[in-house]
Structure 1
Amino acid sequence: MSQEPHDPNAKASENPSPKPPEKKSSTVVRVAVTVGVLGVGLLLLWTLVGEELYEQVQEYRAAVVDLDESAPVGYLGLNYRKEYNARPPRFHFEEDGKKLLWASIGDGETPDYYDVTEAEFDPQVLQGGFGRDSIPGVDYPILEPPDGEVASNIGRKNEVAGVELDEGPRAYPIGAIQKVEVVNDLDGEIPIAVVYARGPDTVRVYRREVDGQPVTLGTSGYATGEKVPMLYDRKTKSLWLPEGDGGALICVNGEHVGIRLAEYMEAERLPWGEWIGRHPDSLVLVGNDRDRPIPAE
């Protein structure tokens, strides 16, 4: 069998020789470029979206902590009674041989004064002088269970003063009683007063009865140099100061001078979450019913 003669003019493409394999370095370069492009894209995506998302997460976490540690804005009726807030240039002075302490604007034309000539305290140590009830003591407490509309917003780390009354457990948020200084409350039929002293940062609970009759306490607008509030009773306008050790509330001027209102029980200070964990049936102070007038006595 004869062989076909070889044609030296035949095209090389008709009998191609195999291509040499690509160099690995070019593959590495392409991978590196791809990774680089992806990296730039991810960086751009992080810049546009991720950073904002991160900040939102941090803000959310901070808001959760703040909610857990804060008191609700919605406490009811605890704002200042601005109509009393008219401090005179001088609030204690002598006139006609008497020592007088400014009490309130009265009818707007004739101011009221306390006669403190024989008072069992030195008026010179007092600070403030903004008038009776300029700080709005609570006369008609609004109480809610823990799942109440306002109570459910109290942060679990919010500090309260808790008492185990005969009528049941009750809590007074520190943030609320700091605003009002005194809460006139009841344990069943027993009248009690919860008093906050700003200077020593103490909460005391007193039985507010004189000769078997309840007295309603209000803020005088004065405090001692140690920021212990001076209170007054609504019927006789007598002035009251807590003892330094918290043992009693003592009348230091007026009709009831010398009378002591005994401490009713001790209050326990702890986080709200811990208190309701121990007392899930507790009531808590959430406001003051301002639709009712300031008591006359």
Structure 2
Amino acid sequence: MPYKTQDMVVVTGTSSGIGRATAEQLAAEGFHVLAGVRRQEDADKIKQNNIEPVILDITASDTLRTLAERVEQDPLGRRLRAVVNNAGIAVNAPLEMVPLDEFRRQIEVSVIGQVAVIQALTPALLKSGGRVVNIGSVGGKISMPGFGIYSAAKYAMEAINDSFRREMSSFGLKVIMITPGGVSTSLSEKGVTTADRLSKLMTPDQHRRHDRLFDAVKAQAESWATSGIPPKKVAEVVSRAIHASNPRTRYTAGRDSALLTRLVRILPDKLLDRMLRSQMKLQ
């Protein structure tokens, strides 16, 4: 179906970073954006022309039902052009000592929650011939030391994205993965805070093994927070994926993503291991 201004778009995780930049980008283009946030204070901050905040916890079925009802019962009869699956968290720490509850939380938010959003809004997307845009990560292509838990969720979403795309291709629903590299967002800063908190849970032996790795993880996250591409650059890629009449199945955002997604396909594992450890100064 052709693009129309004032079609609706749902964007999750819009309190900051990629989600907020995407909501603002699409609203400026004329879409009516249903912007998912968890707290009223964030809703108050993002509300503006063409942006309608909705209180949304993607792990809570009641808020997802409310969102689906809002989409289906739109008072102006607007169709749902796209869902941008962006909400997520980052748990970064050595695999040996990550509490399993933290692992479960990462998967619950960044995988199960994403699937829940897709399930809730698929009926509306099928009616409109819309599309699902999943915000992935270069971490879903390459797993760096200390980032295994986060990468596990992103690898899982790669599989879900591919499977769902192949399941729905006969029904006019397009499924697209956006793969950013390092992005300057609060997610990186929150990842540092989480790493600091988890480091306090280590045993003396684990400290001896992993203090250096913890420092490297925090340094890497801080580097992304300060030198990564701005969220607006990712939002522009999302916009292209939504506007394209025949979108690609995958888009990268940032030079590091474009490079690493190619390298991982051609380099032997052991060479890639050395490169990543050297980059993080673990050699």
User: TM-score, normalization: structure 2?
Assistant: 0.26
Say which structure is richer in helix: 2
Q: TM-score, normalised by structure 1?
A: 0.25
Larger radius of gyration: 1
